[in-house]
Amino acid sequence: MKKLLYPIIIGLLAVVLTACGSNDEADKKNDEKETTEKETAKATEEQQKQMEEMQKKLDKQKVDEKKTVAIVNDEKISGAEYNTVLSTTQMQMQQFGQDPTTKEGAKQIKEQTLNSLVGQTLLLQAADKKGYTASKAEIEKQLAEIEKQYESEEKFKEAMKQAGLNTETLNAQIAENIPYTKYVEKEIKVEEATDEEIQKYYDQVAEQAKTSGQKVQKLEEMKPQIKEQLEQQKKQEKLVKHVEELQKNAKVDIKI
């Protein structure tokens, strides 16, 4: 698999309604409750239908799992790998309030998915050439850390099911994610964010907060967070350029 790990969040919302009072008042409330329940049930049913229709459209964007979607330096990327990253890209697009089922949206998602897969494959190949590996202990440790994010083993298993994963595929992803992380940390070096950069970023955030009527935190309170964010941004920008350099010397054949 050529897919880096993404966080999975599954939540449950429960609403409990109670009513009390005199008989007449109780009857009235019962009628109101029944009406509300019917309206809620109807709205839920409509929402469910919309979600099912949306999912059907999203599923149409998937490809045959056995199909080769791209070849990167003689390494094949399968349709199964494409579909996994595609689902994540679709979800991210929806989270930003965009419709991934439009003609333009579908085109954008396809490009992003392929670019992501090619980039990740090139980085993993580079990490392998440099000799970065994952030990059994490192894999087990990271798996345990992922499990800790969930309240119970059942919820963890449900999250894996929702993501189309099982223990074997998750371990395989972790085994690839570790060398990738080591490679990025060791090979993609960035300069620390300067006080001037931090101040400039803080001024922008403070101005936005004032405009929206929000309370502005002091620079000292936000400085560590801003510093980390700026350095992550620098690393991401450098990583993109690094992938572009790797691609110049790579043989990439897109099949879809």
236, amino acid identity: Q
Report the side by side order of strands in the sheet with 252-254: 75-78, 68-72, 252-254
Q: Are 182 and 127 in contact (CB under 8 A)?
A: yes
Q: Are 86 and 96 in contact (CB under 8 A)?
A: no
Domains of the chain: 23-187 (1.10.4030.10)
d(CA 184, CA 4): 13
Neighbours of 181 (CB within 10 A): 17
Nearest residue to 146 via CA among 123, 165, 121: 165
d(CA 85, CA 217): 37
Instruction: List phi, psi (to 5°) of 70.
Output: -165, 155
Instruction: List phi, psi (to 5°) of 252.
Output: -120, 120
According to DSSP, residue 190 is labeled -
- Whole-model pTM: value is 0.70
Nearest residue to 12 via CA among 204, 158, 146: 158
Q: How is residue 215 written in tokens?
A: 């309370």
Nearest residue to 72 via CA among 243, 242, 217: 243
Per-residue pLDDT tens, the chain, 256 aa: give them: 444 443 332 222 222 233 334 455 556 666 666 677 777 877 788 888 888 888 888 989 999 999 999 999 999 999 988 998 898 889 888 888 888 889 999 999 999 999 999 999 999 999 999 999 999 999 999 998 988 888 888 888 888 887 777 888 888 889 988 999 999 999 998 899 999 999 999 999 888 888 888 888 889 999 999 999 999 999 999 999 999 999 999 999 999 9
Residues 6+ apart with CB under 8 A from 84: 1, 3, 164
